[in-house]
Amino acid sequence: MTVQEKSWKEIPPAGICWKPSTEYLTGDWKTYKPIMDSEKCTRCTLCVIFCPDGAIHWNPGKEDIEFDYDFCKGCGICANECPTKAIEMKLE
Partner 1 sequence: MESVAKQKLLALNGDEAVAYAAKQSDVDVAAAYPVTPQTIIVERFSEYVANGEVDTEFVCVESEHSAMTACITASATGARTFTATAAPGLALMHEMLYVASGCRAPVVMTVVNRALSAPINIHCDHSDSMSERDSGWIQIYAENSQEAYDSMIQAFRIAENPEILLPVMVCLDGFTLSHALENVHVLSDDIAKKFVGTRQFPRVTAHEGKDASFRLDPENPISIGPIAFPNYYFEIKRQQEEAMKNAPKIIQQVHEEYAQISGRHYGNGLLDAYCLEDAEIAIICLGSTAGTVKTVVNELRAEGVKAGLLRIRSFRPLPVEGIVKALEKVRAVAVMDRSLSFGGHGGPVFHEVHHALYDTPVHPYIVNYIYGLGGRDTSPSHIRKIYEDLQGILQTQRVEDPVRYVRLRG
Partner 2 sequence: MFSEWKFTAKDIAEKADLFMSGHRACAGCAAATVMRLVLKAVRGPIIATSATGCMEVVSSIYPYTSWATPWIHTAFENVAANASGIEAALKILKKKGRIKQQRIDVIAFAGDGGTYDIGIQALSGAVERGHDFLYVLYDNEAYMNTGIQRSGGTPHGASTTTSPAGTVIPGKVQYKKPIADIMVAHDMPYVATASPHYWRDLITKARKGIEVDGPAFLHTFAPCPRGWRSDPSKSIEISRIAVETCIFPLWEAINGEYQLSAPSKVIALRPERKKPVREYLKMQGRFRHLFTPKFEKIIDEIQQLTDKRWQRLLKKCGIV
Q: Which is nearer to partner 2, 1 or 17 (CB)?
A: 17
Q: Between residues 16 and 91, which has the closer beta carbon with respect to partner 1?
A: 16
Alpha-carbon gap, residue 77 to 62, rounded angstroms: 24
Assign residue 85 a region (left: φ > 0; alpha: ψ between -120 and 50; beta: otherwise). left
Asked if 2 touches partner 1 (CB under 8 A), the answer is no
Residue 42 binds: one of partner 1, partner 2, none (C-beta under 5 to 8 A by kind): none
**Rounded distance, CA 58 to CA 71, Å?**
15
CB of 88 to partner 2, least distance (A): 12
Are residues 30 and 86 in contact, defined by beta-carbon separation less than 8 angstroms? Answer: no
Residues that bind partner 1 (CB under 8 A): 5-8, 11-20
